[in-house]
Amino acid sequence: MDFFEASSKDNGISHTLEEYLFSPSANVGVKEGLFDEDAPQPHMLARFFSGVVHPLIHTGYGLEFGLPGMIAEGLAQTAVHSDAPISLVPAHLFDSSVYSTLSGLAESAGKALHDALGNTVSKLDAAFESKILHKSSSMGDFGKQADLTIPSRKPYRAEEFSQLQDHVKGKDPHALDILGWVLKDERFATPVPDAEKRDAVDERIGEHAETLLQYSGLWKLDVARLGKEKRYLEGKIEELAFLVAVMFGIGGWTERGKNEDGSDAVFNADFFLMHLVTSSVFIPSICAYISPASQARFLRAYLTNALALYVFRGCPDLDIVGFQTMKELQPVGPQPHPDKSTLPSPDSQKALNPDPWLPIIQTSVVHPDEHVPKTQRSLSNWAGAFGTRRFCSAKSQSQNHPSIKAGAASAGLGMGWGAEGAKGSSTLGGEEPIPLDLAGAEYLDGTVFLRAAEITAERLGRVREGEHAEFWDFKGFFDKDIGKGKRDSKKALL
């Protein structure tokens, strides 16, 4: 820690990040400017994503709030964490020619993954094998919800991937497109390893590392545009924000399971996917301190590791239609009694709850588990930035489904349910809906952040209003038989 603190003080934070986190010498063996497999290979960027991305989170906090000591602590934590995710951070990521001449790694298929990278990912921390993994929480009845309309997960065979590569040539796939393709790929539907084995995580991800890199390689990152166009960088960050919210929120709701009495559970609030949400809020702060080439390395590594964690947790199905059309939750506890002059009317839900984020944030900041306010802060941050975003189906180019009300698109901006002032926030794509190759895309919009926050508050307990504090879920999403419409009980991989 003293080393990184001194470097930040003497050389500046940006230089320290570039030199000791993103440079080739900080990751792969380099001798006289050339790759050398016999030279030390620190794998710092791989370590950055180790331990459920806690090194990234700690460094991100320091960068966001201007805390040099915490930046040093985050980098020191990075240095001592396992480098097991190296299979997800390939050596060619640090070949400067890749990002100086190509807009996407998908177009550099001739580059082989270096054998020295291995095929394992982090075993996480010993703490995750402690009794905390077996802690269970009772969940209240979520009430009547729309019938599940989960899209069919048709087998997606390996030989079809080359067709997909041809399909996306000359296009710029969205991160959510890639998530949808991963969801369809039958290669990720392998049997769950024995949960008692310490290397269960390694086996699960190591088996799929090369395939995951193929998918993340479809995501185009143009370094020249990252350096010159603010909106281009913001657009890529937006894609990752929606990616983690959909994984955590829609995935966790779709496969929420049942309570002991047979009723639908509230939400499968997965502890691991939650950390993608809490870490995502620091992406802009990290990108602000590093060069365009390092931004490209960081963003791609983030996407790959996010997809890997999604696969590790069991690739939860995504019932976008059901999630986006469910009735919004309302605050619990004593309610106000609006005066007859209240707009739009004293009986309106908007009069009772004009800003849905206020009760969520209020109850979250006093929750005994610190992950709750972190999660809600991240979701509210993204709602403020991208709450007006709309999507449509790439196949039909149809607009948002009629059931998605225009006014609701602004929910979560801290300006009330009907606020219209933030349409077309400064992201790539402007006000036009973004087409997605994802089932139910025409139902998806920026309210996904608010909806995810609401069910998180419901699941973890609104303690300010008198509800019991609950804890996160560790059971994963393994209770399925992909492509056959069956469900069987499988032991959760932890």
- The whole-number pLDDT of residue 99 equals 52
- The whole-number pLDDT of residue 382 equals 98
Q: In the structure, what pLDDT confidence band is assigned to residue 199 with cuts at 50, 70 and 90?
A: low
pLDDT over 90 at 494, yes or no: no
Range with the poorest average pLDDT among 10-19, 123-132, 290-299: 123-132
Q: Tens of pLDDT along 350-386?
A: 888 889 999 999 999 999 999 999 999 999 999 999 9
Give the pLDDT mean for 117-143: 29
Distance CA 74, CA 55 (A): 5
- The whole-number pLDDT of residue 331 equals 82
User: In this structure, what token pair is assigned to residue 89?
Assistant: 């951070």
CA distances from 212 to 204, 230, 279 (A): 12, 28, 20
pLDDT over 50 at 195, yes or no: yes
How many beta carbons lie within 10 A of that of residue 92, not counting itself? 18
Give the pLDDT mean for 198-215: 77
pTM of the model: 0.81
DSSP string, 126-176: GGGGSGGGG-----------PPP-PPP---B-GGGHHHHHHHHTTS---HH
**β-strands 30-31, 34-35: how paired?**
antiparallel
Give the pLDDT mean for 293-321: 96
DSSP string, 433-479: PEEESSTTGGG-BTTHHHHHHHHHHHHH--GGGTPPP---B-S-S--
Beta bridge partners, 270, equal 473
What's the chain's average pLDDT?
79
Q: Tens of pLDDT along 90-118?
A: 988 988 665 544 333 333 322 222 222 22
pLDDT higher for 76 or 425?
Answer: 76
Beta bridge partners, 30, equal 35
Range with the poorest average pLDDT among 38-47, 132-141, 186-195, 243-252: 132-141
